[in-house]
Amino acid sequence: MAASIASIFELQIERVPNFAAADNCWDALDAWLRPRGFVSLRIPRGITYARKVYMMTCGPSPRGNGLFHAVVSFRGEIVHDPHPSRAGLADSEGWTDVYFVAIDPARDIRGRSVAKCRQAQ
């Protein structure tokens, strides 16, 4: 999960916690996202939302270990699997798309006003 989030937000993986180790990974993820101006929106695969954005998709690991795995998707297709095997996810049953939604769309990920960033250019 952390590697997929680091990829989407273009962060070094060391800057992203291991949410899977938390008692509730979704609560831990949202607690980390909020100060950065985002919340997660989890939608079961099969329900169409915004497909023209990068998202994290979670589902059963293809390694048969009973764990869930996270990859990066775009337009409903897996575009990056951070695991060295690059095997993606097991069958699409039970997949969840996780969108990162801006709490205040007028601010960028660093908390700066988008208007002020444009003025500085």
Residue ranges making up the domain that contains 41: 2-120
**71-105 confidence digits (pLDDT tens):** 888 877 888 888 878 877 887 777 888 888 888 77
Number of domains in the chain: 1
Q: How many CB atoms lie within 10 A of CB 98?
A: 20
Model confidence over 3-25: pLDDT tens digits?
Answer: 899 999 999 999 999 998 889 99
Q: What is the pTM of this model?
A: 0.74
* 49 Cβ contact partners less than 8 Å away, ≥ 6 residues apart: 41, 43, 97, 99
